Chain A
């Protein structure tokens, strides 16, 4: 018999004046505003909401709330929506998930596979052999998955993020949680109250007792008038170190979900209790519901859950008989679990209960309402390090010893009248506020920017709360028959006993072997029953078996909430708008968006080699150094000598780590007496800066050097090519640019295109005559455009990273991180003249001193025999026809200048001699011959162009 809508209820949350239309598996339905998807469907007579994961049994409402494992549906393109929680909206397209008939098997193996699904540990047994069937298994498994369909064409939706620092977070807005929040707020604490459900009140929301309704009304009123920040439809999903809390807010107006990262000084855990299903034959047949589900359906949404009910009850709170009678349900029998009476089984079709067997007697009924006991959702306490203990007398777990910054209240901590629970809640709130005050004082006193606090830190408030009592409750987990334990994973009590027989009788092993407690309810409904059945198998009690560790999340978190608003910073040079207006193809280098090329990198190279090219090299790392002890610092950080660098001169240097491995390289110029500019690789700028600071702060605090990162303070433009002197001469008037007046490896201050405060140096990464201009960034675009305009008749053109990489490879300059790796020691670069072991001390010196006795690979230039073959970077260099590795290609390009393929590579030292023959193993598997060159530079090895 189906459910139906009742007349108006005093406690209902639906607005009957607003009808909402929606579709369920393609058919039209309607409900009211305030309905959940499930309550609207139930009111319309829908009994079956899903099919179970493995056995594919029809499933109906079980708990009618967020945790209901049987109500997972697809809404539009949103899979795994909890129909027991999600509010109905106009026009929703709701579909069932995991619907068997749509699952097609094109495998002959399918039937036998299905049979093997029925046993415990099937994940481990079924798909192991034969291996060649794996692709088919994967297809079958993905089709079996209980989830809905993900539509990868769905538009992105906004997921928001926020940080907050409340004094007290209260998780759970039942009567105790509300009182805790109010008391803490009254004591001066900033309080965030987080409620999983759509409104506050906990179990009072669906209580028909007049006194409880009055109490709820008053609590809500007081809460609204208070300073407490209340989040409903939000879940504290995890508690991490130092009360770092993850909170998912599902009802924020501007976002699908908002992830709140809260740093709470105190956490109050008040989630209430969750009603536990009872295990017996047919306990998953539609028509078997928990007592709380019955009361929610009747009192919140005016849904009549059946016509003729059997009520099984083991506690007063769970006795729904009065509510059922009030709703016009015929209560055929009340079976009292406290008096030893038992439910044995249900009878009926696969789709509906038709009868209940209790104490061996069949009673005709279409509804069985079960109140077998409570589960304490201690998850947040467990995440805080507590190990809750089982109490046989009360038949549930209680907090043991949570850390001082975490307090529990409400049903989680004990039993009592509503007043007693509220009193405990208020006392907990006061204690939380007092302790938060101590923490706030400590933080404020230690934080430089904070307002000064007077006086000593307030004493840590002692826990003087009167503990709640514990009421007796019978231990009811499994009847004398077998039934379902984990509804979402389709694991029954027989499966658990089988797992125990096979040796998986520890709770952590049984969990993984059977997957019990691993489904969408996160163990809230099934953990205790799982433990109870294992205890039965082991002949022990629940306390001895222990529970699985509850880890985050408290409730499943959507990937959108976690991944939604990811910050991915990007850096751009001041000249970027010009690049974009001129057909640039960008490349992301670290965080920098850089010009890769402007359409034809080879043409850019030819132009820079024959006329003049300009490249935006703003990302080049630049550290402004000031102070009298800079030469000492440079001598320490670089492998070569720096004591005698004159003002106006520039020198190249290589930096190593303490292990002698190349860390970075670049040039440093002396701009003034106590003023130097150090450059680093673009990618190494941040690392080198922190490294320099570390040396200055921890090992050489007496040295007077100040380091300032000025990478983006200057727009850096490299002007390269035979006509570069003429071009620079047109924009720089105050520097003698003659080869004698401004020689290779020199630096000058300059006014460029009217911009004062620039400096420029003659260096040559491309191998041609070139000037690197560094201009204040706020005028970078102006200077770039001035160069383009002034050099029109010289054929000036921009080139990008690709052109520069080609030209530096022609010139044989290695790139740290490309041609070197995490094991490349300085001598491998071939720049042994820059490693001055005669210097008294520098970083890396010990290892470099000892490296003479080691066989280090060497960086060499390599040219393939066939000039049109460009081996991929990373190709191995092998010995002849063998697979013995002798090195690898680290850089390779087709050179537009030489019209042939050119490479840099690392090879065994014996091969690092000009003329050595090597074999390169291509990605295709072909082997090609190549020759090691006598010099790194494929182009202009004598450096005549550079120094001209």
Chain B
């Protein structure tokens, strides 16, 4: 089981967290075209390599945050320091 480096709780089993998927910016709902909005809802880059993704530490600190993970090796980049926890909405 993957160890996810929660910026608050330290490394935790991935089962302790909820995976929020790729982090991506939410388009402005007032101006987004249907095409842009549906790309936001349904399209993912799914790269083999570094990916910025959202996690929710549901068993621990109960914070949503973004982390960078290499999808090919499951290596995480060091998590951001506390205070920089913004991720995309799931």
Listed in ascending order, the chain A residues whose CB lies under 8 Å from chain B are: 240-242, 244, 263, 443, 446-448, 450, 658-659, 690, 693-695, 697-699, 701, 840-841, 845-847, 850
On chain B, the number of residues with a Cβ less than 8 Å from chain A's Cβ atoms is 32
Nearest chain B residue, comparing its CB with the CB of A844 = B29
Cα A277 to Cα B67 with chains together (Å)? 50
Are B56 and A694 touching (Cβ within 8 A)?
yes
Cα A694 to Cα B1 with chains together (Å)? 25
Cα A841 to Cα B30 with chains together (Å)? 8
Asked if B90 is at the interface (CB within 8 A of a chain A CB), the reply is: yes
Nearest chain A residue, comparing its CB with the CB of B85 = A697
Q: Top 3 closest A-B pairs, CB basis?
A: A447-B10, A446-B10, A242-B3
Are A695 and B34 touching (Cβ within 8 A)?
no
Nearest chain B residue, comparing its CB with the CB of A261 = B1
- CB-defined contacts of A699 to chain B, threshold 8 Å: 26, 89
A interface secondary structure, majority: helix
A244, A694, A845, A846: the one contacting B64 at CB < 8 Å is A694
A241, A697, A698: the one contacting B1 at CB < 8 Å is A241
Are B56 and A690 touching (Cβ within 8 A)?
yes
Listed in ascending order, the chain B residues whose CB lies under 8 Å from chain A are: 1-3, 5, 8-11, 13, 18, 20, 26, 29-30, 32, 34, 37, 40-41, 54, 56, 58, 62-64, 74, 85-90
Nearest chain B residue, comparing its CB with the CB of A447 = B10
Are B11 and A447 touching (Cβ within 8 A)?
yes
Interface pairs (26), CB distance under 8 Å = A242-B1, A263-B3, A443-B10, A446-B5, A447-B11, A448-B8, A448-B9, A448-B10, A450-B10, A658-B41, A659-B41, A690-B18, A690-B56, A693-B56, A694-B56, A697-B63, A698-B87, A698-B89, A699-B26, A841-B29, A841-B30, A845-B29, A846-B32, A846-B34, A846-B37, A850-B34
- CB-defined contacts of A698 to chain B, threshold 8 Å: 54, 64, 86-89
- CB-defined contacts of A448 to chain B, threshold 8 Å: 8-10
Cα A701 to Cα B3 with chains together (Å)? 27
Cα A450 to Cα B8 with chains together (Å)? 12
Are A695 and B11 touching (Cβ within 8 A)?
no
Cα A699 to Cα B18 with chains together (Å)? 18
Cα A256 to Cα B85 with chains together (Å)? 46
Cα A690 to Cα B19 with chains together (Å)? 12
Nearest chain B residue, comparing its CB with the CB of A840 = B30
A-B contact sample (5 more), CB < 8 A, given A695-B89, A698-B88: A240-B1, A242-B11, A693-B56, A846-B34, A847-B37
Nearest chain B residue, comparing its CB with the CB of A850 = B34
Cα A840 to Cα B31 with chains together (Å)? 12
- CB-defined contacts of B3 to chain A, threshold 8 Å: 241-242, 244, 263
Are B29 and A693 touching (Cβ within 8 A)?
no
Q: How far is the CB of A840 from chain B (nearest CB, A)?
A: 8
Cα A240 to Cα B3 with chains together (Å)? 11
- CB-defined contacts of B37 to chain A, threshold 8 Å: 846-847
Q: How far is the CB of A118 from chain B (nearest CB, A)?
A: 44
- CB-defined contacts of B64 to chain A, threshold 8 Å: 693-694, 697-698
- CB-defined contacts of A841 to chain B, threshold 8 Å: 29-30
Q: How far is the CB of B62 from chain A (nearest CB, A)?
A: 7
Are B2 and A242 touching (Cβ within 8 A)?
yes
Identify the interface centre among A242, A690, A846: most chain B CB within 10 Å of its CB: A846
Cα A263 to Cα B62 with chains together (Å)? 23
Q: How far is the CB of A435 from chain B (nearest CB, A)?
A: 16
Nearest chain B residue, comparing its CB with the CB of A385 = B73
Cα A528 to Cα B18 with chains together (Å)? 42
- CB-defined contacts of B56 to chain A, threshold 8 Å: 690, 693-694
- CB-defined contacts of A658 to chain B, threshold 8 Å: 40-41, 89
